[in-house]
C-alpha cells in the first residue's frame, strides 16, 4: 500500500522530495501528494518545506516484529504469535473472529492504523498514526478464572507496570479501564484504554481478547478530535516515555500483560489488588456513575477483592459498582 511505503520512507525524520518519494515507490508525484494528504488525515504530522519536500516533525519508529520479539523473554516468545498489519478495522474484532489460541498460548495483533477502532461501551477509539500503540492479545482460559470481571483491571495494572519500566511517571488507573494522569489543574487526562472482550463457546475454553490503545505522542489535531468526542486526552511522551522507541514500549506492554494473564489464570485477581489500589486515581474522590439511564453519586472508596468499585453514598452506605461510566464531580 502506498501510504505504508511513504510512512516507512518518512519515518527517519529527514526531508524527502516528492520526486524522490515518487521514484522510490514507483508512482506519480500526484499520487504521492494524495498519499501525503491521507497520512496527514490519519494524524501523521508531515511538514511540507517549499522546494525541498516533506518531513515528519519528529522521526518515528514503524512497528517491527523482529525488534519487538527480540525484547521478549524466551518463555513469552515461545508461546506467542505476533502479527503486525498496516491497516485493519479493529485488532480486537479480528482476533475475536480468529481461531482461539490454546490455553497458555497467545496471539498478538498490532496495527499501525485502525479504521474502526473500538472503545469501551460502544465508543470509537481514535489514535495518531505513528504516535500510538494499538494492539490486542488473545488467549484461551480453561477453566474460566475466578474473578473474570477483573480482567480489565489486571490488564491495566500490567500496562502501568510496563510503562513505569519504560520511564513514565505519574500514571494512574481510573476504574475500570483507563490509563490516566492528573493535570496540574487536577483534571483527569486519558493516556490509554483497555477493552477486554470474551467469546465463550457452549463447551470448551473461552477466548479472551485484551485490546490496548496507548497514546505515545499525540499531535494537536488528534487531541482536538478526541476532545470533540468528550475526552481530554494526553500522551505518554509528556510523562517521560521515549515515544521514538515504539517497539520497545510495545514489547514491554505485551510481555507484562502476557505474564499477567498467566498469573490471573492461575491465581485470579488477588496478586494484582495492591498494585491496582496504589494506582487508583478515584479513591476518596466524589464521583458520578452513569449506567444506562441510571445515575448515582457518592464518594469512591476503592475496589473490592473482585475488582468492583465501592461507592459510599451521603448516608455512609457502601455498595459495589460492576459497570458504568465514572466521572469525578467537581
Ligand atoms: C477504551 O478506553 O474505551 C478502550 C480502548 C481500547 C482501544 C484498543 S486499540 C487496540 C484494540 N482494538 C480495538 O478496536 N480497540 C482496542
Rounded Cα distance between 262 and 268, Å, is 10
d(CA 115, CA 253): 23
Cell numbers given for 187: 483534571
Inform me whether the pLDDT recorded for 201 exceeds 80.
Answer: no
In angstroms, what CA-CA distances link 264 with 175, 177, 275, 312? Answer: 18, 17, 14, 28
Q: In the prediction, which pLDDT does 241 show?
A: 98
pLDDT, tens digit, for every residue of 1-59? 899 999 999 999 999 999 999 999 999 999 999 999 999 988 899 999 988 999 999 99
Residue 202 has pLDDT above 80, yes or no: no
Site to substitute for ligand 1 among 193, 196, 325, most atoms within 8 A of C-beta: 193
Task: Kindly state whether residues 248 and 317 are assigned to the same domain.
Answer: no
Give the model's confidence band at 279: pLDDT under 50 very low, under 70 low, under 90 confident, else very high.
very high
Residue 210, pLDDT score? 98
User: Do 237 and 90 reside in the same domain of the chain?
Assistant: yes
Q: Which atom of ligand 1 is nearest to the CA of 90?
A: 14
Same domain, 194 and 297: no
- Note whether 168 and 192 are same-domain residues: yes
Given 277, 294, 309, the domain boundary residue is: 277
Q: What is the pLDDT at residue 15?
A: 97
Mean pLDDT of all residues belonging to the chain: 95
Q: Do 48 and 149 lie in a common domain?
A: no
Q: CATH code at 322?
A: 2.30.30.100
Residue 161 reports pLDDT greater than 90 = yes
CA dihedral of 42, 112, 58, 224, whole degrees rounded to 10: 40
How high is the pLDDT of residue 330? 83
Does 120 sit in the ligand 1 pocket, CB within 6 Å?
A: yes
One domain, residues 20 and 74: no
Cell (9 digits) for 122? 460502544
Cα 219 to Cα 199: distance, rounded to the nearest angstrom: 35
Do residues 52 and 157 both lie within one domain? Answer: no
Q: For a pocket test of ligand 1, which of 107, 208, 211, 230 has the largest count of ligand atoms closer than 8 A to its C-beta?
A: 211
Using the atom order of ligand 1, give the atom closest to the CA of residue 190: 2
Cell readout for 149 is: 470481571
Ligand 1 centroid–CA 26 distance in Å is 35
Q: Where are the alpha helices (DSSP H) in the chain?
A: 2-10, 18-25, 29-41, 65-70, 74-79, 91-96, 151-165, 220-228, 246-267, 273-279
Residue 146 has pLDDT above 90, yes or no: no
91 CB near ligand 1 (under 6 Å) = yes
164 and 139 part of one domain: yes
If one counts the domains in the chain, the total is: 3
Residues 244 and 204 in one domain: yes
Which residue owns the Cα nearest ligand 1 atom 11? 211
State the pLDDT confidence band at 123, using cuts at 50, 70 and 90: very high
Q: Is the CB of 117 under 6 A from ligand 1?
A: yes
Looking at residue 172, its pLDDT comes to: 98
| 167 pLDDT more than 90 | yes
Same domain? For 192 and 128 the reply is yes
Residue-wise pLDDT for 170-188, tens only, equals 999 999 999 999 999 999 9
Q: What angle do CA 174, 114, 126 make, to 5 degrees?
A: 40
- Res. 157 pLDDT band, cuts 50 70 90: very high
Give the chain's count of helices (H) and strands (E). Answer: 10, 14
Domain carrying residue 35: 2-56
pLDDT band, very low/low/confident/very high, at 322 (cuts 50, 70, 90): very high
Specify the pLDDT at position 43: 87
CA angle in degrees (0–180, nearest 5) for 28-31-37:
145
Q: Is the pLDDT of residue 221 over 90?
A: no
Clarify whether residues 165 and 29 are in a common domain. no
DSSP string, 55-104: EESS------HHHHHHTS-HHHHHHEEEEEEEEES-HHHHHHTSPPPPBT
> Do 263 and 287 have their domain in common?
no
Backbone dihedral angles phi then psi of residue 71, each to the nearest 5 degrees: -90, -5
Amino acid at each position: 500500500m502506498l501510504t505504508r511505503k511513504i510512512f516507512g520512507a518518512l519515518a527517519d525524520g529527514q526531508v524527502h522530495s516528492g520526486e524522490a518519494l515518487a521514484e522510490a515507490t514507483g508512482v506519480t508525484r500526484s499520487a504521492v501528494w494524495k498519499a501525503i494528504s491521507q497520512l496527514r488525515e490519519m494524524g501523521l504530522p508531515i511538514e511540507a518545506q517549499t522546494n525541498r519536500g516533506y518531513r515528519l516533525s519528529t522521526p518515528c519508529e514503524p512497528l517491527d516484529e523482529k525488534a519487538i520479539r527480540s525484547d521478549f523473554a524466551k518463555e513469552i516468545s515461545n508461546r506467542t504469535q505476533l502479527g503486525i498489519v498496516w491497516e485493519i478495522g479493529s485488532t480486537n474484532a479480528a482476533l475475536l473472529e480468529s481461531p482461539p489460541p490454546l490455553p497458555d498460548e497467545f496471539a498478538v495483533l498490532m496495527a499501525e492504523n485502525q479504521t474502526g477502532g473500538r472503545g469501551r461501551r460502544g465508543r470509537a477509539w481514535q489514535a495518531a498514526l505513528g504516535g500510538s500503540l494499538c494492539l490486542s492479545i488473545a488467549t484461551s482460559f480453561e477453566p474460566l478464572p475466578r474473578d473474570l470481571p477483573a480482567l480489565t483491571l489486571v490488564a491495566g495494572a500490567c500496562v502501568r507496570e510496563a510503562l513505569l519500566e519504560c520511564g513514565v511517571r505519574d500514571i494512574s488507573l481510573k476504574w475500570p479501564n483507563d490509563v490516566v494522569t492528573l493535570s496540574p489543574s487536577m483534571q483527569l487526562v486519558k493516556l490509554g484504554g483497555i477493552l477486554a472482550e470474551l467469546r465463550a463457546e457452549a463447551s470448551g475454553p473461552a477466548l479472551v481478547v485484551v485490546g490496548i490503545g496507548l497514546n505515545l505522542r499525540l499531535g494537536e489535531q488528534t487531541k482536538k478530535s478526541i476532545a470533540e468526542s468528550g475526552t481530554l486526552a494526553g500522551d505518554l511522551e509528556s510523562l517521560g516515555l521515549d515515544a521514538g522507541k515504539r517497539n520497545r514500549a510495545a514489547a514491554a506492554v505485551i510481555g507484562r500483560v502476557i505474564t499477567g494473564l498467566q498469573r490471573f489464570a492461575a491465581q485470579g485477581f488477588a496478586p494484582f489488588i495492591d498494585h491496582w489500589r496504589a494506582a487508583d486515581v478515584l479513591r476518596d474522590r466524589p464521583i458520578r456513575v452513569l449506567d444506562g439511564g441510571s445515575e448515582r453519586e457518592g464518594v469512591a472508596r476503592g475496589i473490592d477483592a473482585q475488582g468492583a468499585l465501592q461507592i459510599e453514598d451521603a448516608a455512609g452506605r457502601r455498595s459495589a459498582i460492576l459497570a458504568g461510566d465514572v466521572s469525578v464531580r467537581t
